[in-house]
Amino acid sequence: MVLPLRNVEEWAQFTRPTNLLTMHIRDEAIKAAAREVIPASQALVQPASQLDDPRIAALMNAIDAEQIMGSPAGKIFIDTMEQMIATLLLQRSCAQPMLKVRGGLAPFRRRTVIDLIETRLHEPLGLADLAEATGLSQSHFSQMFRTSMGLSPHQYVLRQRVECAQQLLRNPHYRIIDIALRCGFSTQQHFSRIFRMLTGRTPSEYRNNL
C-alpha cells in the first residue's frame, strides 16, 4: 500500500494474519530521486491500495532484516534503500520512461568522494554526506557512482572498511573488537559477517592464516 499524503487515515482489512512493515519516505528522498532524472511536473507518487513490485518487496525485506539485527550497517544503508525505493515509486508513477544517467563521476568528483570516505571511514556516513561533497542530488550521485566504481556507495564503503581491517589484522596487538570499531563497524558481529562475506574467512581465520 502506498500513501503519498501525510495525516491521511487509510483502513485496510486482511483476510489472514499479516506482518506489517511501515516505511516513511522523506520528501528530500523523493525530490532527490526526481531531480535530473524526470521532469519536475511528474515528481509525484501515486497512491496504491496494492503494490506488486518484487524490487520494492526485496528492498523492504532487506530493511526489515537490517532492523531485526539492530541496524548494524548504519545510516548509509538505510539512506541507500530509501533512495532506491523513492526512485522506484516515481518510476512507477511516471507517465514516460525515466531518463538514464550516462557517464560516471568526473575525475575531481570521484577523487573528492573517495578522499571523504577514506578520511571518515570510522564514522557513520550517510548517502547525503557523499552526495553533498560532489554537489549532486542523492539519486544522481548514486547512479553516477555505480557507473564509475561498479558498486553502490554502500557496497564500496563496506569494501573499504574490510580492506582497512585486513591491514590492521596484521598487527597482533589490536583486538578484533577494536579493529571493528576503528573501521566503522558498529558491532563485532556485523564486522565478522561482512568480513566473511567479502573474504571468505572470519577475521580470526584471516589473522591466523597470515
Which of 96-105, 155-164, 200-209 is predicted least confidently?
96-105
CA distance 133 to 186: 24
- The DSSP symbol for 40 reads G
Label residue 162 by pLDDT band (50, 70, 90): very high
Could you please report the per-residue DSSP string of 93-150? Answer: H-SSPPPPPPS---HHHHHHHHHHHHHTTTS---HHHHHHHHT--HHHHHHHHHHHHS
Q: Dihedral sign for Cα 100, 105, 109, 115, please.
A: positive
Mean pLDDT of 141-154: 88
Rounded Cα distance between 124 and 107, Å, is: 25
When pLDDT is averaged across residues 63-86 and rounded to a whole number, the result is 78
User: What is the mean predicted confidence (pLDDT) over 167-186?
Assistant: 93
All domains in the chain, ordered by first residue: 27-150 (no CATH), 159-208 (1.10.10.60)
C-alpha cell at 185: 563497524
Tell whether the model's pLDDT for residue 43 goes beyond 50: yes
